[in-house]
Amino acid sequence: MVAVFEVRGLTKTYTMGEVDVHALRGIDLDIEDGRFVVILGHSGSGKSTLLNILGGLDVPTAGRVVYRGQDLTAANDRALTAFRRHKVGFVFQFYNLIPSLTARENVDLVTEITDNPLPSSEALALMGLSDRADHFPAQMSGGEQQRVAIARAIAKRPDVLLCDEPTGALDITTGVVVLDALARVNLELRTTVAVITHNAAIAAMADRVVTLADGRMVNDQSNAVRAAFSPVSTSGSPRTPPPKRFLTTVH
């Protein structure tokens, strides 16, 4: 399978006064095309630092990150900006929606600055939010706001979707709905998805689970079969169940 990202010997050290903080300590990792990858780790494990470097938001102290043959660690600011703009969608723990704009208008912001965007109506429909398109963030629940944020991220048709604790500010039930939405993006759009989280319960829904601790990769496993997800319809209610291969739990 083709690797979207090839990471070799990735190290990141922050200097805080007289103290060096080693956030990453020699990470080697490939992320394959079309996969759903969960990166697990407690606070301080280095997972957010890794995601930021993959997304071109930060640069490593040493090592290489190659995206489809492009060495990101050798790229200048202009090239990294183009990479972030055209290739990567970001979803963060906090939704970062503009409160004075409707859901549709928040998504439209992205469609106006990218080539060949996914129409905002289609992006919102994929998230089960067609009936909330003209609502403002204050009129929506936390889970709905996060799904608008995902719709905004996928509207530019990114090759990779990078998610930093996307359910961290949500309750368990709402978090499941958001994770289901990410699973749909991966399965229906074939977008490569990487989710970082401290919640091990999420791991079963992934193709692959990478665990970090103290800046090192301590475990790397694949799930032969992904756990169930429950797609939502354009009205927000359950859809017809997906094929049985998506309803089988991990063995």
Which CATH number belongs to the domain containing residue 125 in this structure?
Answer: 3.40.50.300
Pairing of strands 192-197, 36-40: parallel
Residue 1's pLDDT band, with cuts at 50, 70 and 90, is confident
- 224 versus 152: the higher-pLDDT residue is 152
The pLDDT of residue 122 is 94
User: Which residue range(s) make up the domain with 120?
Assistant: 33-56+87-246
H or E, element range at 142: helix 142-154
Look at residue 34 and tell me whether its pLDDT is greater than 60.
Answer: yes
The reply to whether 70 falls in a domain is: no
The reply to whether 227 falls in a domain is: yes
The pLDDT of residue 228 is 65
Task: Return mean pLDDT, the chain.
Answer: 87
**Mean pLDDT for the stretch of residues 227-247:** 41
**Mean pLDDT for the stretch of residues 34-49:** 94
pTM over 0.75: yes
The reply to whether 151 falls in a domain is: yes
Asked if residues 145 and 102 have their Cβ atoms less than 8 Å apart, the reply is no
- State the total domains in the chain: 1
* Vertex 39 angle, CA 241 and 52, to 5°: 115
State the Cα–Cα distance between residues 187 and 195, nearest whole angstrom. Answer: 15
- 156 versus 239: the higher-pLDDT residue is 156
State the Cα–Cα distance between residues 219 and 212, nearest whole angstrom. Answer: 7
The reply to whether 99 falls in a domain is: yes
Look at residue 219 and tell me whether its pLDDT is greater than 70.
Answer: yes
The pLDDT of residue 178 is 86
Q: Helices 103-111 and 142-154: crossing angle, nearest 10°?
A: 20
Residue 217 burial (10 A CB sphere; 0-12, 13-18, 19+): buried
pLDDT tens per residue across span 132-190: 999 999 999 999 999 999 999 999 999 999 999 988 878 878 888 888 889 889 999 99
The reply to whether 13 falls in a domain is: no
What does the block give as tokens for 178? 């958001």
The reply to whether 150 falls in a domain is: yes
What phi, psi does 133 have (nearest 5°)? -60, -35
The reply to whether 185 falls in a domain is: yes
Look at residue 89 and tell me whether its pLDDT is greater than 60.
Answer: yes
- 238 versus 23: the higher-pLDDT residue is 23
pLDDT tens per residue across span 50-69: 999 999 999 999 999 999 99
The reply to whether 4 falls in a domain is: no
